[in-house]
Amino acid sequence: MRHQSQTLAGKYLWEDNDIMISDHLTDIEQFDAELWTIADNLRANSGLASNEYFMPIMGLLFLRQATNRYYEALAAIEAEKANGKMPDRPLRDVDFTRRRAMMLPEAARYDVILDQPKDGSLGEALTAAMEAVEEHFPPLAGQLPKDYERFDDELLESMMRKFDTEALRKASGDVFGRIYEYFLAEFSKQGAHDNGEFFTPPSIVQTIVNVIEPDHGIIFDPACGSGGMFVQSSHFIEHEGKDTMKRVTFYGHEKNETTAKLAQINLAVHGLQGSIQAGNEAITYYKDPHELIQHDKNADRVIGKCDFVMANPPFNVDEVDAEKVKNDPRLPFGLPGVNKAKKVSNANFLWMSYFYNYLKDTGRAGVVMSSQASSAGRDEAKVRQKLVETGAVDVMIDIRGNFFYTRTVPCQLWFFDRAKEADEARKDHVLMLDARNIYRKVSRAIYDFSPEQQKNIAAIVWLYRGQSDRFLELVEAYLAEAIAKGQATTEPFTAFEDRLAKLINLMAPFATEARDPDPLSETWTELAATQATLKQDIAAYGVEVVARAKEWESSANGRSRDNATLHAAREGLHAIADQCRDLTKQIDLAAKLAGRVADVAMQELEARDSDLWNNTEINKAKRALNGTNKDNDHGARGDVVEALRQARYFVKQADWLQERFPDAMLCDVEGLVKLVNRREIETHDWSLTPGRYVGVAPEEVDEDFDFEEALRSIHIDLKGLNEEATDLAARITRNFEELGV
């Protein structure tokens, strides 16, 4: 199976399904659907194939994002001038690149173009904008689409306005990384690129970055797709308070010309530059396109120039000419088998050898690889053995299936650390981490790591490296966040209580009217009791949160909290977590009882005909309480339930870490992690499959079943099935139309 890596930016929108996207769309899947509607509209109204309108859409997204970042940087510059931190002088390109933005010419700003008189020249204006950007920014020369004049102006304006919502004008580059990524994945499904291409999931990119921590020197991605590994590395560096372009140099190679252009665009819009070469993937197999390896003839060895290699290369390629590569100095471990056609039988270990040799003696690599590579036999096993014997194999992570957008295959992450080779204490050990039971369900077909799951995986690696202080800092951050989220429930609680009370008060005149028999009596009484109990329990929760917050503040005592202090604080927060769970059930019960009263009144007692029943106001109150089920409006009930879930969630994250690693030191955890030595690996035929070493996690009895999460999972599955049914019906209709039926 062939596979080309394509990745995209940043701290992704994909990481958080609850981020606000627009006034009407808060759910990522709804937003995705609207994005694809835009693309479908262009396809239907232009008569073009997807590979023809792919880049024009990307160009519009580029201008939108570049304009956003320009105005954000401009505001920061003006603020610095106002407070005297910057001299009042004409602005220069460097003022913007320092803030990871482009100093856009006026004619290339999205809002300026959109505000121009509509005289039939919008396509011309967009083409001129792209030319102006390329002239102003040489790294983008020849990269941007410049064929907008072939599109109808009305269609172009419609698309531009779709990307001109208030939320998208304020959106960060992270949002646009997600947009790029979504479009790339969807175009791939539609055949816009080579069949079989995979897109590196953002959470996997983030996990690689978290483990190798690429913050200096040369960063190389020989299958760079649209540059996501580079952009995410930049975010990591900036998070440390450093300037990316002063710290690193990016080198990349990408076989697809269009995708290579996107890589340059993606870098430029983030104020970054890199050397991206495009062309047939054979260049990477047979040549060193950036001359990142030099041959030391005296020592008869190759010396890599890279500080970091990050890649998601093609899996299981069997078309590499063995004669052309057999003497390649980048392959000191030999060829992993040759078939009858004189082709390398599987190129997985060609890539592994290349990655290893591109590294300096202190370099690190993080690579996505087919799961079969870690246990393949025969000649592949021999190469794998030699890699292990170098001492550079550092960490192996198993990833479950359904992480990729277009394939269900599982994969593994391989990590090399050349510095281990000279470290007698570390060189014979490999950290085996089975993360197949760590995931978040995003849709019926797609899983990922949540931001916290990514951090938790990184925390295990920190312990492996003896960095217990970082582990404890993460636990401390979770506990602090849990307390902050607990304190933040005040406003949602107030809103829920007010809206519940308003609905009850509106229904009371009719509900308390004497009637015999009275089908409302029992439910009304239960509702009143639930409301009263809930009020008391909310007050008790508030007292507990205040008490725990005070304890938390006093526990610092002017120093870092140690492991024992964090254990005590976490255990103390279990009371809040339990209250969050119980309050969620009470809130749901109260909302359901109120709804049942309304239903019985309307359906059995014909309340609409009564002067005591203000139907319009009661319906408004019901919507305010429970939401509309449209545009992701969950009402006051949904808001307070989410606030409680957040408070409880961060306690659970601290639990996950401290229960598995109670001493803040690395230890074997059944079914999760084990530090293995070379002798163990040898007895397992040099297999590097984590699951063979860590064992099977004991089945946990969930005494605290999360109904909210279970319902969310069911909702995701049902929504996915409905969307597939709708899509299938639409395709059948189109097929009939094309057949003239």
User: pLDDT tens digits, residue range 496-551?
Assistant: 999 999 999 999 999 999 998 999 999 999 999 999 999 999 999 999 999 999 99
Nearest CA among 712, 556, 579, 576 for reference residue 654: 576
Residues 6 or more apart in contact with residue 235 via CB below 8 angstroms: 9, 10, 11
Q: Report, as an integer, the average pLDDT of 627-650.
A: 86
What tokens does 334 get? 């030999």
* pLDDT over 90, % of the chain: 54
pLDDT of residue 632: 60
On whether both 439 and 508 belong to a single domain, the answer is no
The reply to whether 347 falls in a domain is: yes
On whether both 651 and 559 belong to a single domain, the answer is yes
pLDDT confidence tier of residue 282, bands split at 50, 70 and 90: low
Last residue of a domain, one of 422, 437, 466: 466
Task: Examine the pLDDT at 704 and tell me if it is beyond 60.
Answer: no
C-alpha distances out from residue 341 to 326, 351, 392, Å:
15, 20, 33
pLDDT confidence tier of residue 299, bands split at 50, 70 and 90: low
- CATH code (residue 94): 1.20.1260.30
**Phi, psi (degrees; rounded to nearest 5) at 119:** -115, 25
CA distance 359 to 216: 13
pLDDT of residue 281: 59
Task: Examine the pLDDT at 594 and tell me if it is beyond 80.
Answer: yes
Please identify which residue in the block is written with the tokens 């300026």.
112
Last residue of a domain, one of 436, 466, 496: 466
pLDDT of residue 699: 72
The reply to whether 186 falls in a domain is: no
Last residue of a domain, one of 421, 437, 466: 466
pLDDT of residue 284: 79
Taking the alpha carbons of 222, 223, 229, 231 in that order, is the dihedral positive or negative?
Answer: positive
Q: What would the pLDDT profile of 116-149 be if each residue is shown by its tens digit?
A: 887 889 999 999 999 999 998 888 888 899 989 9
pLDDT confidence tier of residue 11, bands split at 50, 70 and 90: very low
Out of 12-16, 131-135, 330-334, 473-477, least confident range: 12-16
The reply to whether 686 falls in a domain is: no
pLDDT of residue 1: 32
Q: What would the pLDDT profile of 92-116 be if each residue is shown by its tens digit?
A: 988 888 888 889 999 999 999 999 8
Task: Examine the pLDDT at 204 and tell me if it is beyond 50.
Answer: yes
Task: Examine the pLDDT at 38 and tell me if it is beyond 60.
Answer: yes
DSSP H or E run through 398: strand 393-399
Query: Can you give the pTM of this predicted structure?
Result: 0.84
Top mean-pLDDT range of 40-44, 175-179, 472-476, 560-564: 472-476
CA distance 213 to 242: 13
The reply to whether 456 falls in a domain is: yes
- CATH code (residue 434): 3.40.50.150
CA distance 260 to 283: 14
Task: Examine the pLDDT at 421 and tell me if it is beyond 70.
Answer: yes
Phi-psi region of 443 (alpha: psi -120 to 50; beta: other; left: phi over 0): beta
Residues 6 or more apart in contact with residue 115 via CB below 8 angstroms: none
Residues 435/410, Cβ–Cβ less than 8 Å: no
Task: Examine the pLDDT at 645 and tell me if it is beyond 50.
Answer: yes
On whether both 437 and 302 belong to a single domain, the answer is yes
Task: Examine the pLDDT at 350 and tell me if it is beyond 90.
Answer: yes
Length of the chain: 741
On whether both 552 and 586 belong to a single domain, the answer is yes
SS3 content of the chain, % helix, strand, coil (to 5): 55, 10, 35
On whether both 230 and 136 belong to a single domain, the answer is no
- Domain holding 514, by residue range, is 477-665
Task: Examine the pLDDT at 6 and tell me if it is beyond 70.
Answer: no
pLDDT confidence tier of residue 169, bands split at 50, 70 and 90: confident
On whether both 249 and 293 belong to a single domain, the answer is yes
Three-state secondary structure call for residue 338: strand
Residues 555/565, Cβ–Cβ less than 8 Å: yes
On whether both 442 and 532 belong to a single domain, the answer is no
pLDDT of residue 28: 44
Upper half-sphere CA count for residue 107 (Cβ side, 13 Å): 14
Cβ neighbour number for residue 80 with a 10 Å cutoff: 14
On whether both 313 and 454 belong to a single domain, the answer is yes
Mean predicted lDDT score pLDDT of the chain: 85
Position with higher pLDDT, 414 vs 49: 414
Residues 220/251, Cβ–Cβ less than 8 Å: yes
The reply to whether 439 falls in a domain is: yes
Task: Examine the pLDDT at 167 and tell me if it is beyond 80.
Answer: no
DSSP H or E run through 103: none
pLDDT confidence tier of residue 566, bands split at 50, 70 and 90: very high
Residues 463/471, Cβ–Cβ less than 8 Å: yes
β-pairing, 306-311 vs 301-304, is unpaired
What tokens does 523 get? 């439910």
pLDDT of residue 14: 27
The reply to whether 688 falls in a domain is: no
Cβ neighbour number for residue 511 with a 10 Å cutoff: 23
Q: Report, as an integer, the average pLDDT of 601-628.
A: 93
Please identify which residue in the block is written with the tokens 């997600």.
178
The reply to whether 431 falls in a domain is: yes
The reply to whether 183 falls in a domain is: no
Position with higher pLDDT, 184 vs 30: 184
Q: What is the DSSP letter of 409?
A: -
pLDDT of residue 493: 97
On whether both 289 and 165 belong to a single domain, the answer is no
Out of 404-413, 421-430, 497-506, 521-530, least confident range: 404-413
What tokens does 270 get? 């983030």
The structural domain count of the chain equals 4
CA distance 697 to 671: 4
CA distance 9 to 18: 19
pLDDT of residue 413: 97
Residues 570/576, Cβ–Cβ less than 8 Å: no
CA distance 145 to 163: 17
Please identify which residue in the block is written with the tokens 């990590």.
415
On whether both 147 and 236 belong to a single domain, the answer is no
Position with higher pLDDT, 226 vs 222: 222
What tokens does 515 get? 């009637």
On whether both 299 and 433 belong to a single domain, the answer is yes
> In sequence order, what are the beta bridge partners of 393?
416
pLDDT of residue 21: 30
Task: Examine the pLDDT at 403 and tell me if it is beyond 50.
Answer: yes
On whether both 572 and 552 belong to a single domain, the answer is yes
Residues 512/523, Cβ–Cβ less than 8 Å: no
Task: Examine the pLDDT at 589 and tell me if it is beyond 50.
Answer: yes
Side chain identity at 159, as an amino acid letter?
Answer: M
Please identify which residue in the block is written with the tokens 């949904």.
638
Task: Examine the pLDDT at 29 and tell me if it is beyond 80.
Answer: no
Nearest CA among 387, 322, 312 for reference residue 349: 387
pLDDT confidence tier of residue 15, bands split at 50, 70 and 90: very low
pLDDT of residue 34: 63
**Phi, psi (degrees; rounded to nearest 5) at 109:** -85, 135
Nearest CA among 541, 489, 449, 490 for reference residue 646: 489
Nearest CA among 307, 284, 306, 304 for reference residue 294: 304
Q: What would the pLDDT profile of 46-81 be if each residue is shown by its tens digit?
A: 666 665 677 888 888 889 889 988 998 999 999 999
Q: Report, as an integer, the average pLDDT of 234-243.
A: 88
Out of 358-362, 540-544, 704-708, least confident range: 704-708
Side chain identity at 385, as an amino acid letter?
Answer: Q
